[in-house]
Amino acid sequence: MHRILIIDDEDDIREVAALSLETVAGWEVMVASSGAQGLIRASFYQPDAILLDVMMPGMDGPTTFRELRKNPATAHIPVLLLTAKVQASDRLRFADLGVEAVLVKPFDPLTLSTQVAGILGWN
């Protein structure tokens, strides 16, 4: 069973994504409501992958990603960004960070697990 950490400041997004991944794929899902909380949970729980929101107050997604990469305990965990920003320049900037993929919000809850599994080669 795969373990996913969702880091997003929006309650609705966390709940829909978690329910989707648990129900459709049967994965174990942990959640964090901020970048700082996500760093702690990623280090402690060692998820197989992280879904990370780009726009969050305090520590945004790109900053959180860089901090994950600095920590040897979390540097290996694949990260997929979740964003409502779909401009080509934004997508290129996010891809240049070194994330596995950029997923667009709103996402389809019925196909989210298939998207994630396909990107990470979990088929």
Angle, vertex CA 102, rays to CA 97 and CA 106, nearest 5: 145
pLDDT at 87: 75
List 5's β-bridge partners, or say none: 30, 50
CB 18 within 8 A of CB 43: no
Task: List the chain domain ranges.
Answer: 3-120
pLDDT confidence of residue 94: 76
Convert the pLDDT of each residue in 56-109 to its tens digit: 999 999 999 999 999 999 999 999 999 887 677 777 777 788 899 989 889 999
CA distance 24 to 18: 10
Q: What is the pLDDT of residues 17-68, one digit of tens each?
A: 999 999 999 999 999 999 999 999 999 999 999 999 999 999 999 999 999 9
Per-residue model confidence (pLDDT) at position 57: 95
More confident position, 104 or 112: 112
- Distance CA(72)–CA(69), nearest Å, equals 7
Q: Which fold has domain 3-120?
A: Rossmann fold (3.40.50)
- Three-state DSSP state, 54: coil
Supply the pLDDT for residue 95.
Answer: 74
Per the CB < 8 A criterion, the answer to whether 122 and 116 are in contact is: yes
